[in-house]
């Protein structure tokens, strides 16, 4: 009888090991994708998104500096979207563990890291009442895409039965965690031709994985409808003031598929499992860094509490872009 029990135990060990590995991956991923502590959101009155209002907003809409939830891309949307219409890709990022202590990351977690792809879309429309055509930015929305049947599609936990591939327990939990992270993204300002939004991130800066705020500014040219996207990293001090990190304001390659490289720091592992801070973005998305001036630095560090702040930032970004192109 004892020999039989030993045989049964040995036969069951592989199953037990697999179960522990999967559950460990789930616990780790759920922890890793928990929204970063966002003191700003807890102290602000965040207005719910209203896609209907945004789409019908007149061309002469006033500047809005109230924090809003960022709209989500509709599940089932194929990426890239159909050429017809005014929807454009701002950014489509595929994360991948590429640097640091890569050997510490199990293959199951590496697969999860690359499974869901951050996607940002912008809706651009011409105002028919103005001749020649005057373009405006009606909406910037975010979502998570994954490959299904040879194409990229936006998915959500609420519509998995309708859109997207069949996912197991761990993959669904990973998707839920990523969605919780998207919930932390806030639209902080907008004009008829610019939307500014913040997202929390962990980035590798000066040899350390650091919590930062990635501020995004999406601008449309009113004359030809072309998009420009800028991203920079900010830190916020105890007084609520922002400070530019690493001195970079980057104009992105708009519409490009980003190979989002991640750095793994084994010094931030506990009992063999990485903490939330163990994974960090290697850099901002690809593009060209703007020439920094004192005026531009003050603009990108602004708290954007007034319409003048918002309009001033838009003017500075457009001027800095023109100067960069001229060179």
Tell me how far apart the alpha carbons of residues 315 and 327 are, in angstroms, rounded to a whole number: 19
The rounded percent of the chain whose pLDDT value lies above 90 is: 54
pLDDT at 323: 63
Quick one: residue 149, left, alpha or beta (phi over 0 = left, psi -120 to 50 = alpha)?
left
Instruction: Say what the pLDDT of residue 81 is.
Output: 86
Greater confidence (317 vs 23) lies with 317
> Looking at residue 325, what is its pLDDT?
55
Q: What is the structure's pLDDT at 257?
A: 83
Lowest mean pLDDT among 78-87, 182-191, 252-261: 78-87
Stated pTM of the model: 0.82
Burial track 45-67 (b if 16+ CB lie within 10 A, e otherwise):
eeeebeeeebeebebeeebbbeb
**CA 248 centroid distance within chain:** 18
The predicted-structure confidence for 229-252, as pLDDT tens digits, reads as follows 999 999 999 888 999 998 999 999
The whole-number pLDDT of residue 254 equals: 79
CB atoms within 10 A of CB 96: 14
Q: What is the pLDDT of residue 61?
A: 54
What is the rounded average pLDDT for all residues in the chain? 82
């Amino acid at each position: 009888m004892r020999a039989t029990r030993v045989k049964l135990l040995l036969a069951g060990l592989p199953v037990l090991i697999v179960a522990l590995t999967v559950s460990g991956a789930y616990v780790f991923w759920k922890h890793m994708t928990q929204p970063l502590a966002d003191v700003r959101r807890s102290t602000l009155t965040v207005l719910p998104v209203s896609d209907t209002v945004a789409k019908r907003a007149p061309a002469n809409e006033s500047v809005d500096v109230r924090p809003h939830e960022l709209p989500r891309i509709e599940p089932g949307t194929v990426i890239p979207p159909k050429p017809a219409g005014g929807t454009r890709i701002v950014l489509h990022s595929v994360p991948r563990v590429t640097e640091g202590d890569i050997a510490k990351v199990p293959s199951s977690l590496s697969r999860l890291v690359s499974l869901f792809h951050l996607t940002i879309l912008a809706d651009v429309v011409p105002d028919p009442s103005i001749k020649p055509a005057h373009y405006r930015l009606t909406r910037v929305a975010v979502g998570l895409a994954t490959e299904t049947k040879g194409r990229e599609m936006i998915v959500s936990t609420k519509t998995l039965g309708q859109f997207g591939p069949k996912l197991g327990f761990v993959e669904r939990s990973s998707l839920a965690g990523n969605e919780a992270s998207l919930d932390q993204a806030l639209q902080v300002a907008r004009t008829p031709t610019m939307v500014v939004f913040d997202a929390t991130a962990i980035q590798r800066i000066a040899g350390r994985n650091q919590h930062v705020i990635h501020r995004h500014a999406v601008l449309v040219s009113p004359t030809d409808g072309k998009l420009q996207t800028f991203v920079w990293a900010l830190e916020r001090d105890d007084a609520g003031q922002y400070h530019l990190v690493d001195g970079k304001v980057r104009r992105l390659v708009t519409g490009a598929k980003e190979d989002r490289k991640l750095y793994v720091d084994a010094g931030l592992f506990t009992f063999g499992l990485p903490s939330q801070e163990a994974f960090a973005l290697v850099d901002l998305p690809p593009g060209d860094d703007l020439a920094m001036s004192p005026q531009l630095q003050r603009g990108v560090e602004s708290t954007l509490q007034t319409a003048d702040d918002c309009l001033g930032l838009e003017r500075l970004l457009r001027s800095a872009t023109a100067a960069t192109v001229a060179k």
